[in-house]
Amino acid sequence: MQEIDAISVEDLTKIYAGKVVAVDHASFRVKQGEIFGLLGLNGAGKSTTIKMLATIVSPTSGNARVLGYDISKEGLEIRKRIGVVQQLESYDRNLTARTSLALYASLWGVDKKEFSNRINALIDKFELGEVLDRKIRWLSYGQRRRLQVLREFLHDCEILILDEPTVGMDVLARRAFLDFCKERVKGEKSTIFYTTHIVSEAEYLCDRVAIIHHGKIIALDSPKELKKKYTDAKTVCVVLKDDSYLTKLVKVLDGMQNVTRKEIMEDTPEIHIVSQDPFKLIYDLSSLFQSDSYEVESMSLTEPSLEDVIVGLVGDQTNNGVK
């Protein structure tokens, strides 16, 4: 028998107030045991998609199933089986972190002993040990965010739906959290549906990524395949001796056909040049540097990043006037 998809979405559309198209005929499937990322700029439609899957808002048209249950007709069955971390904060700020977590655990039917086992296993990972008995109102934003995320790991859910969970976490907390998600999926065969606008995070964490732009899914694959499929370009990195050479070089590059995009790095005389024909570019630049006496520290060739793919894709869509 074929395994039921964790999530299957078919032509899902949400139009707010009769005119704001937040999600536009989105279709995708998430397999069980997968970490699936929905990646998009602010306002792309990520939270709206999550709210429909978590049965918090209803779709305007189209449909979706979560673990085989229909989001329009079987919301209760779905809500029993999922954990959701929304973008908005949701807790009683006058309770201590521990009391608040215990309250949720009891609502989910986790008994006291099990609660204490689970919390002991989680507080170190989320670095909340020190603040567990403090009132939530005194916690920093990053600590409150970690608390909200930890809460959803307390109960046995088959799918975790996380809406930009790492916003407000510092670099170390973020990396520890992403590693924890990976471990969790491997160990318990649960599924994670994850949204983010941070490309490197999606690349590090997700098995597959759907890119959403103006409510439409414009690409879907593993980060590796996305990079293969959507960029045959490579990046040439040039580091110059000082800024004066940089200004001169930018002018020359402006007149070159073989340059898809260029990005000047902050605080260093370094420029990254994306090109479909990087070897010709390197040849042209070498001739230029010799004939026009530039002082060059280094020139190197790198593979495209997932960020290059997104900038390319989203830039194309905007240029084509797709809304």
Ligand X SMILES: Nc1ncnc2c1ncn2[C@@H]1O[C@H](COP(=O)(O)OP(=O)(O)O)[C@@H](O)[C@H]1O
The answer to whether 16 contacts ligand X (rule: CB under 6 A) is yes
The answer to whether 42 contacts ligand X (rule: CB under 6 A) is yes
Q: How far is CA 199 from CA 161, 180, 210, 228, in A?
A: 18, 19, 11, 16
Q: Which of 7, 44, 240, 282 binds ligand X (CB under 6 A)?
A: 44
- The count of other CB atoms within 10 Å of the CB of residue 124 is 10
Partner whose footprint covers residue 210, from Mg ion, ligand X, none (CB < 5 to 8 Å by kind): none
Site string for Mg ion, 43-82 (x = CB under 5 A): ---xx-----------------------------------
CA distance 53 to 321: 29
Question: Would you say 47 or 100 has its CB closer to ligand X?
Answer: 47
Residue number of the CB atom closest to Mg ion: 47
Partner whose footprint covers residue 231, from ligand X, Mg ion, none (CB < 5 to 8 Å by kind): none
- Strands (DSSP E) found in the chain: 7-16, 20-30, 35-39, 61-66, 69-70, 82-85, 159-163, 191-196, 208-213, 216-221, 234-240, 261-264, 270-275, 296-302
The answer to whether 62 contacts ligand X (rule: CB under 6 A) is no
Decide: 294 and 240 in contact? Cβ < 8 Å.
Answer: yes
Find tokens 């995708």 and name the residue: 28
Q: Which of 8, 13, 47, 190 binds ligand X (CB under 6 A)?
A: 47
Q: Which of 196, 236, 224, 233 is closest to 306 using CA atoms?
A: 224
What does the H/E/C string look like for 138-177?
A: HCCHHHHHHHHHHHHCCCCCCEEEEECCCCCCCHHHHHHH
The answer to whether 279 contacts ligand X (rule: CB under 6 A) is no
The answer to whether 40 contacts ligand X (rule: CB under 6 A) is yes
Q: Which of 182, 140, 77 is closest to 148 using CA atoms?
A: 140
Question: Would you say 131 or 209 has its CB closer to ligand X?
Answer: 209
Question: Would you say 22 or 105 has its CB closer to ligand X?
Answer: 22
The answer to whether 165 contacts ligand X (rule: CB under 6 A) is no
DSSP classification of residue 2: P
The answer to whether 48 contacts ligand X (rule: CB under 6 A) is yes
- Please give the residues from 29 up to 48 whose contact with Mg ion meets the rule CB under 5 A: 46-47
Nearest approach, Cβ of residue 161 and ligand X (Å): 13
Q: How far is CA 254 from CA 247, 263, 269, 300, in A?
A: 11, 12, 17, 20
Q: Which of 46, 118, 146, 174 binds ligand X (CB under 6 A)?
A: 46
The answer to whether 17 contacts ligand X (rule: CB under 6 A) is yes
The answer to whether 43 contacts ligand X (rule: CB under 6 A) is yes
Cβ partners under 8 Å of residue 243, min gap 6: 269
Nearest approach, Cβ of residue 45 and ligand X (Å): 5
The answer to whether 216 contacts ligand X (rule: CB under 6 A) is no
CA distance 122 to 138: 21
The answer to whether 8 contacts Mg ion (rule: CB under 5 A) is no
Question: Would you say 166 or 231 has its CB closer to ligand X?
Answer: 166
Using CB under 5 A as the criterion, which residues of the chain lie in contact with Mg ion when the complex forms? 46-47
Which residues of this protein are in contact with ligand X, per CB under 6 A?
16-17, 20, 22, 40, 42-48
